[in-house]
């Protein structure tokens, strides 16, 4: 077995196409769009304004059998004042030796750059797809959530990685909120003067700039948080614009100022599965046909300013989002991901009728 540093277009194509080899018999895998994968790994992506990465391929008997990226995220380390590197884009055949060599190569590359710990999988940070699926292999992942074979847990633990944090995904029927949540939502409106409005999708860039303000303040105490940059917000606007629904992208305001937000999108993985990684010639048609028929949504993010917590703002956002989902014919929502020790959030979701149905894990090791 040998390793190759990805430094050519040919090697990058092999890196991007490897998942089709790993998952070709897995009925639950959803192939990513090839065009988006190439952009994600190019230096035109906003991540590279504050980070760097080295991609590796593992070869055995003339074929690619694994891949990994070693990642330096300066925005993370500047914010947390630590020296953590990351690994991501990990894919591997069921072979401990191959996984060990890939992870050691990533660790060595990070160590050479002065980092003292490695964490992952994250591609590139907790703002992106992250975590290893531990439970919930009986269904496809929701949009922008990870998926992997069950044996990956054995590979990572066999290479010396240990649990850093677990992430939970909740499922919830779109059947209305319990009475206690309705009372909290009413309290936010009547006592604290909070209103909720749909985002103006014609001016999505400006609306997401408001989301950024709330997100960076409301999430800054969370484990693994990385502030979002203006360029990342612009990319988010570009990516979300085709699938956002007015009733599912909400801003909470008090005295005309944003104090909370929630963003949910249809689970386009149900359509991407038919696209097979390509929009042309048939993938785009599948998306156009299936998108209006999707009845599952994923709550991507919800945030409330610290000074407005415990005032029912989150319940008000859930209430308005639930009503909007019902108008669109939504039958189920996934709320993901939630940190296992975010007790305030986990209790709130359980009171709302949410049930944990998938679990993910972030790993780490010292360097």
Q: Give strand pairing partners of 262.
A: 250, 302
Confirm whether 114 is domain-assigned. yes
Pick from 139, 168, 197: which residue ends a domain? Answer: 168
User: Tens digit of pLDDT for each residue in 298-332?
Assistant: 999 999 999 999 899 999 999 999 999 999 999 99
d(CA 43, CA 28): 31
User: Tens digit of pLDDT for each residue in 4-58?
Assistant: 999 999 999 999 999 999 999 999 999 998 999 999 999 999 999 999 999 999 9
| 61 CB-near residues (< 8 Å, 6+ apart) | none
Same domain, 188 and 299: yes
Integer distance in angstroms from the first to the last C-alpha of the chain? 23
Same domain, 179 and 326: yes
Q: What is the mean pLDDT of residues 228-257?
A: 91
Token pair in block for residue 346? 């986990």
Residue 282 reports pLDDT greater than 60: no
Helix 179-190 vs helix 313-327: crossing angle, to nearest 10: 110
Q: What is the mean pLDDT of residues 121-150?
A: 96
| pLDDT score, position 286 | 67
Confirm whether 364 is domain-assigned. no
pTM of the model: 0.94
Residue 211 host element (H or E): helix 204-218
The domain that holds 294 is classified in CATH as 3.40.630.30
Same domain, 155 and 18: yes
**334 contacts 266 by C-beta, under 8 angstroms:** no
Same domain, 251 and 141: no
| pLDDT score, position 271 | 82
Confirm whether 340 is domain-assigned. no
Same domain, 240 and 257: yes
Residue 365 reports pLDDT greater than 90: yes
Confirm whether 349 is domain-assigned. no
Rg (CA), the chain: 21
Neighbours of 216 (CB within 10 A): 16
């Amino acid at each position: 077995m040998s390793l190759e540093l990805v430094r050519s277009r040919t090697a990058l194509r092999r890196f991007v196409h490897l998942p089709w080899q790993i998952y070709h018999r897995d009925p639950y895998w959803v192939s990513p769009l090839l065009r988006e994968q190439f952009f994600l790994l190019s230096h035109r992506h906003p991540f590279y304004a504050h980070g760097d990465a080295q991609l590796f391929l593992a070869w055995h008997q003339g074929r690619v059998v694994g891949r990994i990226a070693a990642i330096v995220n300066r925005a993370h380390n500047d914010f947390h004042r630590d020296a953590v590197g990351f690994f991501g884009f990990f894919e591997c055949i069921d072979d401990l030796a191959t996984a060990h060599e890939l992870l050691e190569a990533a660790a060595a590359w990070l160590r050479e750059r002065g980092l003292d710990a490695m964490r992952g999988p994250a591609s590139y940070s907790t703002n992106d797809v992250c975590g290893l699926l531990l439970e919930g292999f009986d269904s496809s992942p929701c949009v922008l959530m990870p998926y992997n074979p069950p044996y990956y847990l054995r590979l990572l633990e066999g290479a010396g990685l240990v649990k850093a944090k677990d992430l939970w995904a909740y499922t919830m029927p779109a059947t209305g909120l319990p009475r206690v949540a309705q009372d909290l939502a009413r309290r936010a409106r009547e006592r604290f003067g909070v209103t909720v409005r749909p985002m103006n999708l014609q001016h999505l860039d400006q609306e997401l700039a408001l989301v950024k303000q709330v997100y960076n303040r409301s999430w800054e105490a969370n484990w693994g948080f990385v502030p979002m940059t203006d360029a990342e917000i612009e990319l988010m606007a570009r990516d979300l614009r085709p699938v956002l629904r007015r009733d599912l992208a909400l801003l909470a305001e008090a005295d005309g100022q944003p104090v909370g937000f929630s963003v949910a999108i249809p689970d386009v993985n149900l359509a991407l599965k038919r696209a097979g990684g390509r929009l042309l010639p048939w993938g785009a048609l599948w998306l156009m046909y299936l998108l209006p028929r999707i009845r599952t949504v994923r709550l991507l993010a919800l945030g409330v300013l610290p000074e407005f917590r415990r005032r029912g703002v989150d319940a008000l956002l859930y209430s308005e989002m639930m009503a909007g989902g019902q108008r669109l014919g939504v039958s189920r929502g996934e709320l993901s991901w939630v940190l296992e020790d975010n007790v305030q959030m986990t209790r709130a979701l359980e009171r709302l009728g949410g049930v944990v149905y998938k679990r993910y894990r972030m790993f780490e090791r010292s360097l």
